[in-house]
Structure 1
Amino acid sequence: MRLAVLGLSLSSSWGNGHATTYRALLRAFAARGHQVLFLERDVPWYAEHRDLAEPDFCDLAFYRDLSGLDRFRPDLAAADAVVVGSYVPEGVAVGGRVCAWARGVRAFYDIDTPVTLAKLAAGDHEYVAPDLIRAYDLYLSFTGGPTLALLESRYGAPAARALYCSVDPQAYPALARETRFDLSYLGTYSPDRQPTLERLLIEPARRAPHLRFAVAGPQYPSAIDWPDNVARIEHVPPAEHPAFYAGSRYTLNVTRADMIRAGYSPSVRLFEAAACGTPILTDRWEGLDTVLAPGTEILPADSADDVLATLEGMPDADRLRIAAAARTRVLAAHTAAHRAAELEAHLLAAAGRHRAADARNNDAGSLLGDKGGDTVLDLSGTRR
């Protein structure tokens, strides 16, 4: 299969979780014998922080603006499937070109589904619009559960399928390292995550000055009052994630507000930390138990008291047992190899529907039947 992906970033993990998600998924997809082209908007903030400029599992190319996509039109037309990701700059215009040019399956991969739905409800069409959702053959969603039915019933997605994030076990091994922190958090600053971080890490740090904490990630405001026992690390590149997790007795998973409301939205950091064998404290959200079992594979916490009770009261044997159980679960069901197989199945099923639709709609004006010419997708859902 020839797959083309237009995503937020593959080359830089700075300030985004998309890069590690794409890297794990596409490496595993290529390992199944497929060819992958990744097209990335060339923007200065990622250009200054590239940590994977030449991937060995796919072709990576950059375009400066919408007109720069024109030179890739033959590649998009020849691909068996083209995937556009969430938060791609000018994503609606990019998606319109993909739907007009691609002859194979046209898919949208939403690594931010609850945020996307909140934007759509507010009339914000930053990177996808309702008419474009209907034009894609396949909507791959970071979020599972009831959200999939919502995407189909309210927004007309022809096929909404869950494609959770995952982890590459080779890139995220369990390491033996000296403990540096009692509790760590790895994530870019987000205003809607900050209250939970305050409650479940910063407040415990204030109340337990004898314990050591760390918050790693960029873009945190300078006005935040960090306790003296909280180490601030501006950025940890993916290659150093395993050592960071290995140096933590526990790590914290914090979920964005939109994703808590939607449920069924496990973050990539959750899978990575579990693969590294680090026990995870987490906020609560619906569907958590479908990914990791609360109490035996992951530790939900609602308050600073909960966090401190775990940090100061849980025996090491129980801590290590929970970490081992989570690692076993993730390696059995949530690796990049699992996701690549799911992606392949979803694309093949969409291709089958695509061919059936083409057979039913042979007239030149059909959205699925007309694949040639210089047509441009009109976001009313027709071609002109």
Structure 2
Amino acid sequence: MSRVAFYGSSLLSSYWNGAATYYRGLLRALAALGHDITFYEPDAYDRGAHRDIAPPGWARVVVWEASPRGLAAAAAQASEADVVIQASGVGYEDEDLLHAVMAAARPGALRIFWDVDAPATLALLRAEPDHPLRRMLPDLDMVLTYGGGAPVMAAYRALGARACRPIYNALDPDTHRPAPAEARFAADLSFLGNRLPDRETRVGEFLVRPALLRPDQRFLLAGSGWGGAAFPGNLRVHGHLGTADHNTFNASARMVLNIARDSMAATGFSPATRVFEAAGAGACLVTDAWEGIGMFLEPGREILVARDGADVAEALTSVGAEDCRRIGARARARLLAEHTYAHRAEEVDGILRRLSPGTGHPMEATL
């Protein structure tokens, strides 16, 4: 059993925190393999007022004050761990926190950077050769990423990382499962995602344009930040959606839409959490096109792929309700067989074992 200190945005709240369900599924599965996990999250972005879950039994959660003093106190606790991990996008002085956390790690502890937005991080590191993370990469044992496949692995190695491995999103079958439909989330096509600059244009193409092309059908948009935006009358805006409602949301629409952010779509091999959550609920998914979809779900059989908004509108017309149910059932079966967080935790557990003290860095030659 290893003691893991994990510094991330939030385990308790998904408010402006798309990585929450990723952290929950993966860390719970790691705890089931015997790892002792403490999650350190800053009291920032009003997340404490929007908690989705109580502190879980499978991890200790330390909420630290978002101040220099709070940062220093939280970072100092890294000295008690066998494995010290900092994720990207913590939300308070990330570079200072990374330096303090890794400096506090005891000799022999594994030191890992876990990038949950690798395309954006890599663009930043290329633009800033003296960025603190770029300087630290050669001294870290490993970089793990939320996705990105071979392009991201090669890019991190080129910037000096010893090794890089994607740990993809996955299905947590205990959390994301079929649920009864509810009228409040009824729609022909639904999308869940917060309003972000590199997503908004793609939402216009893949959600708003189909709504304009199919005025007789119902569309639903959930997520933070969309208030005040102009949408057609058949597109309803819900606002922030807590994780307790995700299954019902996904089960109540005829189709559920996945829209990648610009950087994720350009890099490929970066399936969002909603892909696994929606498929886990048995939803019929339609996704914008990006390289690597077939690694997770088979296009045309387990997921529908759209090149643009016109393709989305065509699917809404040509794919009936029974076909949608069959597609959703196939997707759920595929993910249960190959892509659960238990599968991902086995990957991470193997990495930690191979990198444990005394083994050197054998993964450098293979990743």
Shift of 1:53: 4.1
* Residue number in structure 2 paired with 1:374: none
- Is 1:100 matched with 2:103? yes
- Is 1:198 matched with 2:204? yes
Shift of 1:121: 2.2
2:136 to 132, 135, 148: 132
Structure 2 counterpart of 1:251, one-letter code = V
* Residue number in structure 2 paired with 1:220: 226
- Is 1:90 matched with 2:96? no
Structure 1 counterpart of 2:189, one-letter code = L
* Residue number in structure 2 paired with 1:12: 13
TM-score (norm 2): 0.91
Shift of 1:355: 5.1
Structure 2 counterpart of 1:45, one-letter code = D
Shift of 1:221: 5.2
Shift of 1:304: 2.8
- Is 1:175 matched with 2:147? no
Taking the aligned partners of 2:127 and 2:251, their CA distance within structure 1 comes to: 41
Taking the aligned partners of 1:329 and 1:344, their CA distance within structure 2 comes to: 23
Taking the aligned partners of 2:13 and 2:292, their CA distance within structure 1 comes to: 30
* Residue number in structure 2 paired with 1:364: none
Q: Spell out the pairing of 1:89-168 with structure 2 (5 A cutoff).
A: 89-103=92-106, 104-123=109-128, 129-142=133-146, 143-152=148-157, 154-168=158-172
Quick one: structure 1 residues 304 and 356, their matched pair in 2 at CA, closer, same or farther if it must change by over 3 Å? closer
CA contact (8 A) 2:286 2:305 kept: yes
Q: After superposition, what is the alpha-carbon deviation per residue over 1:208-260, rounded to whole angstroms, capped at 9, x for unaligned? A: 222111000001251x2111111111111111100000001101100111111
Q: After superposition, what is the alpha-carbon deviation per residue over 1:115-161, rounded to whole angstroms, capped at 9, x for unaligned? A: 111122222988x6201222211100112222102211x21111101
CA contact (8 A) 2:302 2:328 kept: yes
Q: Spell out the pairing of 1:1-384 with structure 2 (5 A cutoff).
A: 1-64=2-65, 65-72=67-74, 75-88=77-90, 89-103=92-106, 104-123=109-128, 129-142=133-146, 143-152=148-157, 154-178=158-182, 180-220=186-226, 222=228, 224-352=229-357, 356=360
Structure 1 vs Structure 2: percent identity of aligned residues? 38
Where 1:146 maps in the other structure, the secondary structure is: helix
Quick one: structure 1 residues 313 and 341, their matched pair in 2 at CA, closer, same or farther if it must change by over 3 Å? same
Taking the aligned partners of 1:243 and 1:174, their CA distance within structure 2 comes to: 8
Where 1:106 maps in the other structure, the secondary structure is: strand
Where 1:36 maps in the other structure, the secondary structure is: strand
CA contact (8 A) 2:72 2:100 kept: no
Shift of 1:318: 2.3
Q: After superposition, what is the alpha-carbon deviation per residue over 1:303-350, rounded to whole angstroms, capped at 9, x for unaligned? A: 332112211221333222211111111112221111111111111222
Shift of 1:68: 2.2
Quick one: structure 1 residues 240 and 221, their matched pair in 2 at CA, closer, same or farther if it must change by over 3 Å? closer
Shift of 1:166: 1.9
Taking the aligned partners of 1:350 and 1:341, their CA distance within structure 2 comes to: 14
Taking the aligned partners of 1:62 and 1:112, their CA distance within structure 2 comes to: 22
Where 2:189 maps in the other structure, the secondary structure is: strand
Q: Displaced runs of 4+ in structure 1, greater than 6 A?
A: none
Structure 1 counterpart of 2:82, one-letter code = D
Structure 1 counterpart of 2:166, one-letter code = A
Taking the aligned partners of 1:34 and 1:195, their CA distance within structure 2 comes to: 41
Where 2:356 maps in the other structure, the secondary structure is: helix
Where 2:46 maps in the other structure, the secondary structure is: helix
Taking the aligned partners of 1:303 and 1:219, their CA distance within structure 2 comes to: 23
Whose radius of gyration is greater, 1 or 2? 1
Q: In the comparison of the two structures, how many residue pairs are matched?
A: 353
> Which runs of 5 or more residues in structure 2 are unaligned?
362-367
Structure 1 counterpart of 2:79, one-letter code = A
Shift of 1:207: 2.3
Taking the aligned partners of 2:47 and 2:130, their CA distance within structure 1 comes to: 23
* Residue number in structure 1 paired with 2:365: none
Structure 2 counterpart of 1:67, one-letter code = R
Quick one: structure 1 residues 79 and 182, their matched pair in 2 at CA, closer, same or farther if it must change by over 3 Å? same
CA contact (8 A) 1:38 1:59 kept: yes
Quick one: structure 1 residues 78 and 355, their matched pair in 2 at CA, closer, same or farther if it must change by over 3 Å? farther
